[in-house]
Amino acid sequence: MSGGASLRMRRLGIDTYQHPVVYMRSDCHVCKSEGFEAQSRIELRHGATSVIATLNVVHFDLLGEDEIGLSEAAFRALGGTDGDRVLLMHPAPLMSFSSVRAKIYGRPLSGDAAGAIITDVCAGRYSDIELAAFITACSGGRLDAAETVALTRAMIGAGKRLHWDAPMVVDKHCVGGLPGNRTTLLVVPIVAACGLTIPKTSSRAITSPAGSADAMETLAPVTLDLPHIRRVVEQENGCIVWGGAVALSPADDLLIRVERPLGLDSDGMLVASVLSKKIAAGSTHVVIDIPVGRTAKVRSSEAAKALEGRLVSVGAAMGIAVTVVMSDGAQPVGRGIGPALEAYDVLAVLQNERGAADDLRQRALMLAAAVLEMGGKAAPGAGLAMARETLGSGAAWRKFQAICAAQGGMREPPRAAHTHVLESLHKGRVVAIDNRQLAQVAKLAGAPKAAAAGVVFHAPLGMAVEVGQPLLTLHAESAGELAYALAFAESQEHLVTVQA
């Protein structure tokens, strides 16, 4: 590739989120000699690090003649300080994208192709539209079992892989789709208090208003480096950290950044995402919760069975034992939907508060029981009693506080500055709840980026309500987001259906 051209870097303080952008003057000698134009992809090198960024051409005198401006994302990726020389070149053609094109045209994704694609994704060589094409090509049931294994293997290979000084490392995971389902924050302390090793790395939300990492982050730091995670687990048997921060299956978080706005999350990608994280984290035994419901992510027991089959078979091919638990996905779990609101639900259960959400508690106990039995701590059928005892005695709450302290210190989740109560217009019973629309309201209110934002849900299925009785409370950090979420909620007739 051509090389040699260089300019002095200047951090411009422009936040383009995770998308690296560079700014060059239209009369810049490098622009001319290299033929760079607006939207050109340019490879920048500074010492041993490199990044591929998108060019914006600047027609005014923001920059000096020998300068290149860096967005915050480009600056983070490249390092250095203002005035350092940066080498500029055309990036090598993206050879692995021909495998994406082949997949779009119906040819199977081979192990080599998956490896090359994921390597390029992790190196930042895929533009957003190329990522979107890859994700779309793998969505809608278009990855078979062999392709899923190939993708899982490629995703593990792209990052670090942990090894623990324990013969058995357990884990749990929920495939999501059910607002408020924050059982991870309960299962980990219960299981860890019982002596099993459970180093939990969680994702941020994909299409939901909050992931476990988002909710946990309102209670303690989750962005830990590997030595820190190791210390937490050695000391407390468990942790709840963000997987993206520790380069375990790093492709996953890069894919999620594009999957989230597209609202796509298919079986094959889902299995590869889940199992690559678990295997990279060193797990040997994992319990996977699949909530099933008309408006959950998995809508039918047939779809759940298919997903279970794929999880178990790909797990077996990869040498990890998988147990699937199917749960009721008819309505939200707990009361809060959104990072901080879900954290408050968890705290109430851990502290055995009288008014704590019983559905959240029962789900957590059931999953903890499955993990305890799978991990050999409880005999078959005896897991539930052990989990209930560990929670009821306060041992789980003490373990949770110890984990938070070890992760950097426990803190109080934020409270929203703006709230609005939505009341029932009818007298009757709650007969249906649309989880997807409810999640959409929470997202429009700002979740998960705004940690305090979301929805508190007051009316479970079957509850009798009067006219004027609160159904939902919207929480937002800004008045604009509150108004936006409210306008949407009021325009949806089937958000919560009350029938006389």
Residues forming the site for a copy of itself (CB under 8 A):
1-2, 5, 12-17, 19, 21, 23, 26, 32-39, 56-60, 62, 71-72, 90, 93, 97, 101, 104-106, 127-133, 135-137, 139-141, 258, 261-264, 440, 444, 446, 449-450, 476-481, 483-484, 487-488
> To the nearest whole angstrom, how small is the minimum distance from the Cβ of residue 259 to a copy of itself?
10
**Nearest to a copy of itself of 316, 487 (CB atom):** 487
Single-letter code of the amino acid located at 240: I
> To the nearest whole angstrom, how small is the minimum distance from the Cβ of residue 7 to a copy of itself?
13
Q: Which of 28, 19, 17, 16 is nearest to 57 (CA)?
A: 28
List, as one string, the DSSP characters of 360-401.
Answer: HHHHHHHHHHHHHHHTTSS-TT-HHHHHHHHHHTTHHHHHHH
SS3 (DSSP) at 470: strand
**Nearest to a copy of itself of 106, 355 (CB atom):** 106
> To the nearest whole angstrom, how small is the minimum distance from the Cβ of residue 391 to a copy of itself?
36
d(CA 30, CA 65): 10
> To the nearest whole angstrom, how small is the minimum distance from the Cβ of residue 172 to a copy of itself?
28
**Nearest to a copy of itself of 128, 466 (CB atom):** 128
> To the nearest whole angstrom, how small is the minimum distance from the Cβ of residue 306 to a copy of itself?
13
> To the nearest whole angstrom, how small is the minimum distance from the Cβ of residue 15 to a copy of itself?
4
Q: Which of 28, 22, 20, 1 is nearest to 10 (CA)?
A: 22
**Nearest to a copy of itself of 90, 427 (CB atom):** 90
d(CA 341, CA 441): 14
List, as one string, the DSSP characters of 75-129.
Answer: HHHH---TT-EEEEEPPPP-TTHHHHHHHHTT----HHHHHHHHHHHHTT-S-HH
**Nearest to a copy of itself of 431, 479 (CB atom):** 479
> To the nearest whole angstrom, how small is the minimum distance from the Cβ of residue 330 to a copy of itself?
22
**Nearest to a copy of itself of 369, 422 (CB atom):** 422
Q: How far is CA 479 from CA 41, 141, 211, in A?
A: 38, 40, 24
d(CA 141, CA 143): 6
How many CA within 13 A on the CB side of residue 93?
Answer: 2
Asked if residue 287 lies in contact with residue 370, where contact means CB atoms within 8 angstroms, the answer is yes
d(CA 122, CA 159): 9
Q: Could you say which of 120, 214, 265, 267 is catalytic?
A: 265
d(CA 265, CA 275): 14
Q: How many other C-beta atoms lie within 10 A of the C-beta of residue 165?
A: 9
**Nearest to a copy of itself of 13, 394 (CB atom):** 13
> To the nearest whole angstrom, how small is the minimum distance from the Cβ of residue 296 to a copy of itself?
15
Residue 265 is a catalytic residue: yes
> To the nearest whole angstrom, how small is the minimum distance from the Cβ of residue 64 to a copy of itself?
15
List, as one string, the DSSP characters of 341-357.
Answer: HHHHHHHHHHTT-TTS-
**Nearest to a copy of itself of 5, 347 (CB atom):** 5
Q: How many other C-beta atoms lie within 10 A of the C-beta of residue 393?
A: 12
- If you search the block for the tokens 């894919």, which residue do you land on? 255
d(CA 62, CA 57): 11
SS3 (DSSP) at 447: coil
d(CA 426, CA 437): 20
**Nearest to a copy of itself of 116, 241 (CB atom):** 116
Asked if residue 275 lies in contact with residue 306, where contact means CB atoms within 8 angstroms, the answer is no
d(CA 13, CA 7): 18
**Catalytic residue list:** 265
